Amino acid sequence: MLQLPYQSLQVTAVPSQRVPAREDQDGPWHAEAVCRRDEAGLFFAPSKEPTAARLSREEAAKQVCARCPVMVECQEHALLQPEPYGVWGGLTAAERRVVLARRRRRDVDVKKTQSAA
């Protein structure tokens, strides 16, 4: 069996304040999250993690996210908070920064279009 680098890293608990308190009619969206059954260390980097290990861990986390029924809700939560660390909704912190920058540019373009009309 292939041993991935992230499996030998120290696992740290996910801080409880990172879990959103939002509830919908069926209860909190995060109650259905697949990641609640996986180790938290897969989604959050240990300090001084080597690049190769980080990339491997992030890819494994994204694979978990890909099969999650609340991936979209998780991703939106991470973009609205904004969550500065970890893999949320299949996106790393760097990927979320790109999405947020694109949204800001789109919003500026929409405002320009509306004011020109």
> Which contacts (CB < 8 Å, 24+ apart) does range 16-24 have?
18/83, 20/77, 20/81, 22/77
DSSP 73: H
Instruction: Find out whether 74 is annotated in a ligand binding site.
Output: yes
CA-based torsion, 64, 40, 50, 101: positive or negative: positive
Instruction: Find out whether 65 is annotated in a ligand binding site.
Output: yes
d(CA 56, CA 54): 5
Instruction: Find out whether 100 is annotated in a ligand binding site.
Output: no
Instruction: Find out whether 79 is annotated in a ligand binding site.
Output: no
Residue 67: both structure tokens together: 């099969």
Burial of 32 (0-12, 13-18, 19+ CB in 10 A): middle
Q: Which residues are annotated as a binding site for [4Fe-4S] cluster?
A: 35, 65, 68, 74
Q: Which residues are annotated as a binding site?
A: 35, 65, 68, 74
